[in-house]
Structure 1
Amino acid sequence: MDPTFGMCRALADGADLAEFAGGPFDVRAVVATIRPGSKHGSTLDDVPWGNFPHGDEVREAVRQLATDGGSARDAMGVLYGMCADDSRAAAAVAVPFLIPVATDIHHPHRAEALGVLASPARARHFGVASRDDFPLHRAGTQHDDYDDYGVEVTGYPAGWSVVAARVAITTEVPALLPLLNDSEPSIRIDAAYALATAADPDHTVRTALATRFAKEHDPMVLAALVLATAETTRAHPHPPTSTWIRELWQDRTLAPEVRLAAAIGWLCLTDEPVPDALHATVGALATEERVPAMDALPWMNAAAGAGEPGLLRCVRRMIHPEEPEPDDDPWASLP
């Protein structure tokens, strides 16, 4: 049997998932053996890529990003495409190899590596715009199995992939935190997006996000920091932070993008009915003209679907849930 889909085929035939836990087909176990970032680190060819669907394609994409060989855009397309197609196991294996590239300020592909780093750490990629789904980091520790994520299109357990990617990111939080102070706004945004998926029981990430927020001036980075803070707070509840985010959307001195991010983030942290003041605030700020600016936030890309931009989809799903869903074609919004 071709090992690439061996576990998936066995599961389809009735095998018990527990039989594979901790073995060579368990992406969590494989990622745990990868030691990046040192002269004694693992190499691409040390990893059993063939045990995971499309593993050989992902390995070559990572090689392109890491060695400056071939097209970085094509490599990104492979990695992001696997996740968007609901087949992220091999992409999770790539995460430990992407982090050293993303954190190397001299690497020509660091932005591309960082841009796809968090994709396998999130279980869905289209239309995640409801109050329950938008904060995709739904559980608090790296030991959770995420069983509620079901299976990927290949039959591989989606929760295992998500856990593996998040553990890899959590392990490298110290290396990723300095990116919040990078000179490029897009790097700071993508760093916040990645760090929001890390397990943060000691609040290291949340504290770093707050520290950066206090000295940040770019409105889109501020908005990203708010959403990242809301996401990690959803996983690790902290009432004072929830209160702070509520105050942000009411603060008329802040940029509209920041207030919108705060409104969306706060809604995901509470079960309270939508206040009239929030209705009015979002109604005034969430205009068609503001959509392109908000599209700079990766959370908005994940929320988009059926030709509906992420911002407007969030507004409809969170504030006007009574409105009907458009035909749910996830590719309709892509060029």
Structure 2
Amino acid sequence: MTSEELVFDHEEARVHGFELYEGTQLDVRAVVSGIPKDVKDGFLLDEVAWSRFGHAYGSGHDVPERLTRLRSDDAETARLALDLLWGSVVHQGTVGSVAPLTVPFLLRIAADPSAYGRAGVLGLAAAAARREHWGHGTRSTFLTVATQEPRCDCGGYLMNWSIEASRNAVAADVDVLLPLLDDVDSGVRTSTCYILATASGEADRITDALHARLIIERTPRVRASLVLAVAELGREHAVAGTAAWARALWADPAKPADVRVSAALAWLCLVDDPVPDDLRATLDALLTDGLAGVLDDVPWIAHVDDDGLDRTLDQMLNNALPGTQCDDPWV
């Protein structure tokens, strides 16, 4: 495919299949994997093919300017840039084809201690690397990073490719992310857990780092996020022993309540067993309004619903129907 042909035709893809573009320079997975390290580290944004891909409002040609403004020393300038990126590249849960190209740069911005809104920057990168919950907190969906069923974005591009490309970008830059597990900002540590769990590779290395942080972590929301990140990686990459580890955590009365409850949610998603009576009893004994308030802010739970923990438990324990607050573009 020559440079003159580098225009994605969604009607052509609809008729003949996306395989037409697989492996070409219109396959965002190939483009992201081909970004050199010096381009990422040096923020050489002009070296990236932004306009070849799109977001909710059209071409991605405006993305590099917003990334540049996101690095501004002026907090208001950076805040507005982050809002614009959130509203376009992952508009209402739809991952645009340009979104994966932002991930390496978002990770490096978040790694800068002087940057504005670092937890939100990581959250944006994580949103590019996973499907939206849309009210689903069931045992089969809660720890699911993406779907195998083909779904397209606003421009007709295969969103599955975009999410896969973002996950690959996370795996490629694990060295940028792992130090953030020890960041002084608990919000950054929480968001780091959420994005590390999406990585398409390096699962053993990431899991070891999460376990090590859990031993010393003192913030309940971060502890819960560490548990769920380990479980999500274990589910996605079939890491042996993850379910047994989660069960041992929720059954251990010496562990903090936030760890036990998050481990119970994790275990329910890792096995097909009926809900045991002792798990129900454990949850009844541990759940308080205060704990629910803490866990409702954990990303996995927050993205289910505003009342995420209650809604999630109702789905996992009682087979309640998922609640939706807006139309699900994945359906």
TM class by shorter-chain length?
A: 0.7 to 0.9
Post-superposition offset of 1:128: 3.3
Closer, same or farther in 2 for the Cα pair 1:28/1:238, shift >3 Å?
closer
Q: Distance in 1 between matches of 2:276 and 2:158?
A: 39
Aligned equivalent of 2:85, options 79, 83, 101: 79
Post-superposition offset of 1:109: 4.6
Aligned equivalent of 1:99, options 75, 94, 107: 107
Contact 1:65 1:75 in 2 (8 A): yes
Post-superposition offset of 1:77: 2.7
In structure 1, the partner of 2:33 is 32
Q: Which residue type is aligned with residue 79 of structure 2?
A: R
Aligned equivalent of 1:129, options 122, 137, 157: 137
In structure 2, the partner of 1:262 is 263
Contact 1:125 1:302 in 2 (8 A): yes
Q: Distance in 2 between matches of 1:255 and 1:39?
A: 40
Closer, same or farther in 2 for the Cα pair 1:18/1:294, shift >3 Å?
same
Post-superposition offset of 1:147: 4.1
In structure 1, the partner of 2:244 is 243
Aligned equivalent of 2:13, options 11, 14, 29: 11
Contact 1:302 1:310 in 2 (8 A): yes
Q: For 1:117-196, what aligned pairs fall within 5 Å after superposition?
A: 117-137=125-145, 147-196=148-197
CA RMSD of aligned residues (A): 2.6
Q: Deviations over 1:28-85 (max 9, x none)?
A: 1221222346687462222222222231343333222134465333333333334234
In structure 2, the partner of 1:143 is none
Q: Distance in 1 between matches of 2:270 and 2:279?
A: 14
Aligned equivalent of 1:62, options 62, 67, 75: 67
Q: Distance in 2 between matches of 1:95 and 1:215?
A: 29
Post-superposition offset of 1:22: 2.2
Closer, same or farther in 2 for the Cα pair 1:213/1:53, shift >3 Å?
same
Closer, same or farther in 2 for the Cα pair 1:315/1:195, shift >3 Å?
same
Q: Which residue type is aligned with residue 313 of structure 1?
A: R
Q: Distance in 1 between matches of 2:39 and 2:117?
A: 19
- Does 2:121 align with 1:113? yes
Q: Deviations over 1:82-108 (max 9, x none)?
A: 423413321211001111111122334
Q: Distance in 1 between matches of 2:162 and 2:24?
A: 14
Contact 1:242 1:266 in 2 (8 A): yes
Q: Which residue type is aligned with residue 115 of structure 1?
A: G
Q: For 1:203-242, what aligned pairs fall within 5 Å after superposition?
A: 203-242=204-243
Q: Distance in 1 between matches of 2:310 and 2:65?
A: 37
Q: Which residue type is aligned with residue 272 of structure 1?
A: D
SS at match of 2:9: helix
Q: Which residue type is aligned with residue 78 of structure 1?
A: L
Closer, same or farther in 2 for the Cα pair 1:40/1:286, shift >3 Å?
closer
Post-superposition offset of 1:222: 0.9
Contact 1:123 1:158 in 2 (8 A): no
Q: Tell me the percent identity.
A: 35
Post-superposition offset of 1:195: 0.9
Q: Distance in 1 between matches of 2:286 and 2:80?
A: 36
Closer, same or farther in 2 for the Cα pair 1:94/1:40, shift >3 Å?
closer
Q: Distance in 1 between matches of 2:22 and 2:144?
A: 24
Q: Distance in 2 between matches of 1:267 and 1:33?
A: 38
In structure 1, the partner of 2:312 is 314
Q: Which residue type is aligned with residue 315 of structure 1?
A: L
Q: Deviations over 1:139-168 (max 9, x none)?
A: xxxxxxx64252234321111011110111
Q: Distance in 2 between matches of 1:96 and 1:182?
A: 19
- Does 2:331 align with 1:330? no
TM-score, structure 1 normalization:
0.84
Runs of 5+ in structure 1 lacking a partner? 139-145
Post-superposition offset of 1:191: 0.9
Post-superposition offset of 1:312: 1.5
SS at match of 1:268: helix
Contact 1:68 1:109 in 2 (8 A): no
Q: Deviations over 1:106-157 (max 9, x none)?
A: 334533322322111002242231111111236xxxxxxx642522343211
Closer, same or farther in 2 for the Cα pair 1:202/1:91, shift >3 Å?
closer
Closer, same or farther in 2 for the Cα pair 1:300/1:40, shift >3 Å?
closer
Contact 1:151 1:158 in 2 (8 A): yes
